[in-house]
Amino acid sequence: MANYTGPKVKLSRRVGVPIADLPKHTTKRQLNPPGVHGFRGRRLRDYGVRLNEKQKLRYHYNVLEKQFRRLLDEAGHTKGNTGVVLLQLLELRLDNVIRRLGWARSIWAARQIVAHGHILVNGKKVDIASYRVSVGDEITIKKENAKKLIRENMESLPGHEVPEWLGFDPSTLTAKVNGTPTPDQVPFDVNMNLIIEFYR
């Protein structure tokens, strides 16, 4: 599966918000628009505003356009609010769950941890970052050397809070999916209505 491997801070500057909770993404200087002195030629029109909102969500979850459209189609055919369902589908990706647990500092690091085969879901190795976890799934770490890495990552994120829909035992580094996330439990501000409108 293809993956964006270019400069990540450039993505934050492009959409005007930090797409990762890392110092190099959240500093004021890095949130200036790209270009000489952060000059923006003109105000965005309606299409540009909706495109920017969609890109924010894509970059935050490290999802390519084709994957994003597939998830949007699935959300549209699922009972309930399309925007809420889309957000839930993105939150339940395995790489995102690893990030929310604080086992990785960013979505890109979480993807790498999964791809290297360090994660077990219900006792079985899963190395696909887009794997969707379900309520009741138990997530553990395969080897001791991976546990050491994850503990170091957790120590580098002081004050990180695990969302309520995930259960986590720090002593054994075992996590469990206790429920489905709600929009107010997602620590990323995005207007889902604008994104849905973009594709209509």
CATH number (domain holding residue 138): 3.10.290.10
Same domain, 101 and 74: no
Structural domain tally of the chain? 2
Same domain, 48 and 77: yes
pLDDT tens for 63-122 read 999 999 999 999 999 999 999 999 999 999 999 999 999 999 999 999 999 999 999 999
Check residue 72 and give left, alpha or beta (phi > 0: left; psi -120 to 50: alpha).
Answer: alpha
Domain that holds residue 22: 9-90+189-198
Q: What is the pLDDT of residue 32?
A: 64
Q: Is the pLDDT of residue 174 over 90?
A: yes
Tell me the chain's radius of gyration from C-alpha atoms.
Answer: 17
**pLDDT band at 21; cut points 50, 70, 90:** confident
Check residue 172 and give left, alpha or beta (phi > 0: left; psi -120 to 50: alpha).
Answer: alpha
Query: Which residues pair with residue 124 across a beta bridge?
Result: 121
User: What are the E-state strand segments in 65-144?
Assistant: 119-121, 124-125, 138-141
Q: Is the pLDDT of residue 35 over 70?
A: no
Same domain, 110 and 137: yes
Q: What is the pLDDT of residue 91?
A: 95
3-state DSSP assignment of residue 94: helix
* Residue 184 domain flag: no
Whole-model pTM: value is 0.89
Contact present, 63 and 168 (Cβ < 8 Å): no
Contact present, 60 and 19 (Cβ < 8 Å): yes
